[in-house]
Chains A and B, each alone.
Chain A
Amino acid sequence: MIIYLLSILLLIGVAPLLLSYIKAVKMVMLFKRPISIFQGYRNFAKLMHKETILSKESSAITLYAPFLVLSPLTVVMFFLPPIVHGSYYVSFVDAFTITGLISLSTFFLMLLGLDSASAFGGMGSSREAFISALVEPAMVLTIFSVSLMAGNLGVGQAGVNLAQHFPQEHMASFLFAGISFFILLLAENGRIPVDNPETHLELTMVHEAMILDLSGVYLAIIETAASIKFVIFASLFASLFMPLGLEYSTPIAMLFFFVKLFFIATLVAFLEVNTAKLRLFKIPNLLGIAIVFAFLSLITFYVLGA
């Protein structure tokens, strides 16, 4: 139980670090002087002490929605698969609940965008609604396929099962599901082929547009929510699609897990440097690839058993 709580705290703690790390890696690769990987914490501290400005046009939604954006994601943190062998994990929550909670958070984020009566907010919400509507089917099909291989739909249980019994006989469908999930990781977190987290140019932004009218503590909350969402997806990817290293002794297994997280972050950074952001109406093609891979994964599992 202590390890369970400790791992949650560590994951929440490492969340801003991961995003700063991605940014630093990107800057190194672009021959710039990298930012400190602790920049995320500095930003958080700075925002917490800044004055908070609320829009006169906004309503009670702006007052409460930031908390409702963060709280489902925080709840999801408690439901993630264990990172150490033998640690406690929540067995009564399945993958649908987790996608549902993530959608709940997105739902309030989209309302937040529309609340301030600004054209930017509406634009961001509209685009986010479009993207997340197309993410949903790929997500459900990937979950279905993973649950077949892991023998359980519960996320915690699936992580344990995959670690104990790596699905070598289903390698093909496992790989397809992995590709699909990685695309979803990029799409849900607004990484480069889908959304550029670093620009404030109205043509390109999605996530940033929705939160343009927030400041101070509220902005800090939303930024935290974004980093926690990345950690959720990264650790799901690490537990379900790289189910290795759980059997080592506790500190080594934990260290190994964080190495996996940073490996995923590096992978995302490499992809971000080497690809251009897609136009909004090209994004369905990318998500279509995710959907096709999820279908392929199911079909290979059923027909070939591979």
Chain B
Amino acid sequence: MLSLDTLSLVFVGLIVLGTIPNIFYSSGYLPHIERKVHYQLHYYSFIVSMLGVVVSANALVFLFFWELMSLTSWQLILTEVKDKSTIKAARFYFIMTHFGFVFLLLFFLIVTDGDLSMGFVAMKEVAAGFAYTTLLFFFLVLGFLSKAGAVPLHVWLPYAHPAAPSPVSALMSGVMLKVAIYGLFRFLFDVLYPWPLEWGIVILSIGALSSLVGVLYALSEHDIKALLANHSIENIGIILIGFGMGMIFDTLGLYALSTFSFIAALFHTFNHMSFKSLLFMSAGAVLHQTHTKNMEKYGGLIKKMPVSAFTFLIAAISISALPPSNGFLSEWMIFQSMLSSSHIDVMALKLAIPFAIFALAMTGGLAIACFVKAYGITFLGLHRSTNAKHAKEVNLLMKSGMIMMALVIFSLMLFTPFYLQWFDKVLVELGHVSVYKDIFPNGFWHMHSIGMNGGIVSPIILLLSLLGVTVLMLVAYKLFGVKVRFCHTWACGYNTGAKTQYSATGFAGPIRRFFNWLYKADEHFTKQTIAGHETKFISSDYEVHVKPLFERIFYDSFGKVIAYISYWVYRLAHFEQTRYAAMIFNIMLVVLFSYRVFSHEFSWATFILEFFVMLISVKILIIGDKK
């Protein structure tokens, strides 16, 4: 019923690392919550259910814990219902998570032959006997990636994650999404192993698209938690890029490179857990003090909340993939695995992978822009509202949660070889070759790439040299004895005020304008002019709102189709009796005509004649005149 192989163990490790700081943080957050029992009950059963998913050994237990995980997190979103949007977000989450569940259930019903208590290894034979394995693959993709929030099943994520209380957002974004990645690892390796080339390409394209879409919508967001939730989409995309490269290399027989890419994906999974949890915790601390999620109301919080500001900075450096952070190391590995695509001898694929490299590099650049915005607008400058002015540092428990998570980030950075060793063991157990010795051929100082013209990175040397040079400079600065005078920022003769600072909307302005073909933003600009002057005004108000393209195209148009159908169903239910008689007459006509068409000899002339007879009869008898 339960089993603990290395893959499960590694993910148990991930969940433990992600939840222990979170429990501290959550305990500090608890006084803020009204329904304490409800919250605690669901919070702990949520953690237990995640652990249950990764250690379960048969389909029934897996599905049970999976569903428990969905339901508890759904209830956790509903802990603090302040406005209607929370209920709407929870409903959206409920629907999307069960949309995925249906596909998982279908998958399991097929691969277990109806016997849901079958172990995972036994499923492999059933799956091998099934004629349409690609169908199974798509069930898995729909099932797990709707949970992980990959494009195009990501739309619920920026609504659901911010609506939950902050510790829960950290858990959902930091840990729960990774459980879906676990599912992908588990079932693609254990059940559907020999993968066709196309599957890897599908995963790679989903990953590349998710990373770009996630970061672009994050940039246009002013709600700090929605911004972070959009970054989760981006990072899941990066993980999937590594995963897809691994699948492609495996199919092409480049086994060492395949292991390297999968290790990169696993490493990024861990790193995303660490920095995203920390970001949500720090953002939660800010939110706790300022009572708003709107970034335009923050500012200058670094002076009031130094611990939150410092931990946010560490996590921001890490998520922006700047050296020597752990985020940089895993993104470096993923880049290396893509650069190794020069080993591939399928020319079309070889030429296509640079586009994925382009997507990932673009994502990296935009992520830096986005986190400069998030950090700069939230913590730097002057306070933009009275709430921000009166903010204080959060309590000790919350602080200790954040500091512990920062330590997790440091441990991932400093003890990279230790973690990679475990990931290597996972892949060996899943039937891949071991590459740990090739990544660290001489000690833990240098990390090597597997590819022929691959690079080397030395995280610890980088960290030490950066620290050393900075400290040397600071010492020189102190010895130099600089005379410092304090003065207000020069504002061209006017008073320096909070309103003249750059806003989050303004900061993202150039990028929003450049990507306007994608955003199609709703802009509202009103100003109260003086005596009809165009350029002189008392007050002006500029607001911009971006509705995601995918939501507009897929989800809204789906809603429109449903509304259209239900309108006709309604019309049908409210016909007069003569109409029903006409319909019965028409159906009889269809039956008679089709009987002739299918059973007797077929001729186009009569077919067309009958078609027009049907058309006229439907038009006159059923549809009637337009009113």
Q: Which residues of A contact B (CB under 8 A)?
A: 48, 51-61, 64, 67-68, 70-72, 74-75, 78, 91-97, 100-101, 103-104, 106-107, 110-111, 113-119, 121-123, 125-127, 129-130, 132-137, 139-141, 144, 147-148, 150-154, 212-213, 216-217, 221, 280-281, 284, 291, 295, 298-299, 302-303
Contact = CB atoms under 8 A, between A and B. Distances in A.
Interface string B453-482: 111111001100110011001100100101
The winner among B366, B458, B469, B514 for most chain A CB atoms within 10 A is: B469
Nearest to B467: A71
Given A107-B317, A133-B369, A213 B489 contact: yes
Contacts of B336: 96, 153
B511 interface: yes
Contact of A141 (B350, B358, B455): B358
B489 A117 contact: yes
B507 A122 contact: yes
B134 interface: no
27 contacts: A54-B485, A56-B488, A57-B496, A58-B489, A61-B302, A71-B473, A92-B458, A93-B458, A96-B335, A97-B332, A106-B368, A107-B322, A115-B380, A115-B381, A116-B489, A117-B498, A122-B381, A122-B506, A137-B362, A140-B361, A144-B339, A144-B357, A153-B456, A213-B489, A221-B473, A284-B514, A298-B351
B390 to A, nearest CB: 17
A302 B350 contact: yes
The winner among A53, A106, A284 for most chain B CB atoms within 10 A is: A53
Interface string B483-513: 1111111110000101011100011111101
B186 to A, nearest CB: 31
Nearest to B367: A133
B510 to A, nearest CB: 4
A147 B339 contact: yes
A116 B455 CA distance: 39
Contacts of A280: 510
Contacts of B342: 148, 302
A62 to B, nearest CB: 9
Interface in B315-358: 317, 320-323, 328, 332, 335-336, 339, 342, 347, 350-351, 354, 357-358
Chain B, interface size category, equals 35 or more
Contacts of A221: 473
Contacts of B487: 53-56
B509 A75 contact: no
B52 interface: no
A218 B320 CA distance: 25
Contacts of B506: 122, 126
B214 interface: no
A133 B455 contact: no
Per DSSP, chain B at the interface is helix
B376 A52 contact: no
B364 interface: yes
B496 A118 contact: yes
A198 to B, nearest CB: 20
Contacts of B272: none
A160 B510 CA distance: 40
A58 B461 CA distance: 32
Contacts of B521: none
A95 B368 contact: no
A116 to B, nearest CB: 5
Given A74-B469, A97-B323, A92 B456 contact: yes
For the complex of A and B, list the 7 residue pairs with the smallest distance between their C-beta atoms, beginning with the closest.
A122-B502, A94-B455, A136-B365, A114-B376, A153-B455, A133-B365, A129-B369
B362 A133 contact: yes
Nearest to B375: A111
A139 B335 CA distance: 13
The winner among A114, A116, A280 for most chain B CB atoms within 10 A is: A114
A122 B501 contact: yes
Given A94-B457, A141-B358, A144-B339, A114 B372 contact: yes
Interface in B361-408: 361-362, 364-366, 368-369, 372-373, 375-377, 379-382
B490 A118 contact: yes
Interface in B278-328: 299-300, 302-303, 306, 317, 320-323, 328
Contacts of B488: 55-57
The winner among A55, A93, A113, A152 for most chain B CB atoms within 10 A is: A93
Given A53-B486, A141-B361, 12 more contacts: A51-B485, A55-B489, A100-B328, A100-B332, A103-B364, A107-B317, A114-B377, A114-B380, A117-B500, A122-B376, A130-B510, A136-B361
Contacts of B360: 140
Given A96-B332, A111-B380, A153 B339 contact: yes
Contacts of B483: 51-52
A152 B339 CA distance: 11
Interface string B65-96: 00000000000000000000000000000000
B446 interface: yes
Contact of A115 (B376, B462, B474, B507): B376
The winner among A57, A113, A295 for most chain B CB atoms within 10 A is: A57
Given A58-B489, A148-B342, A92 B453 contact: no
A132 B510 contact: no
A75 B469 contact: yes
A242 B419 CA distance: 41
A100 B509 CA distance: 25
B449 interface: yes
Contacts of A150: 453
A56 B482 contact: no
B365 A134 contact: yes
Contacts of A132: 365, 368-369
A111 B317 CA distance: 12
A152 B453 contact: yes
Nearest to B508: A126
Nearest to B335: A96
B82 to A, nearest CB: 30
A150 B351 CA distance: 19
A139 B364 CA distance: 12
B344 to A, nearest CB: 10
A79 B299 CA distance: 38
A132 B317 CA distance: 16
A52 B482 CA distance: 7
A301 to B, nearest CB: 9
A217 B477 contact: yes
Nearest to B320: A107
Interface in B537-590: none
Given A57-B488, A125-B376, A213-B489, A148 B453 contact: yes
Contacts of A147: 339, 453, 455
Given A114-B380, A126-B507, A152-B453, A57 B368 contact: no
A213 B466 contact: no
Contacts of A58: 380, 489
Contact of B456 (A60, A94, A151): A94
Contacts of A148: 342, 453
Contacts of A281: 510, 513-514
A217 B382 contact: no
A57 B381 contact: yes
A39 B243 CA distance: 54
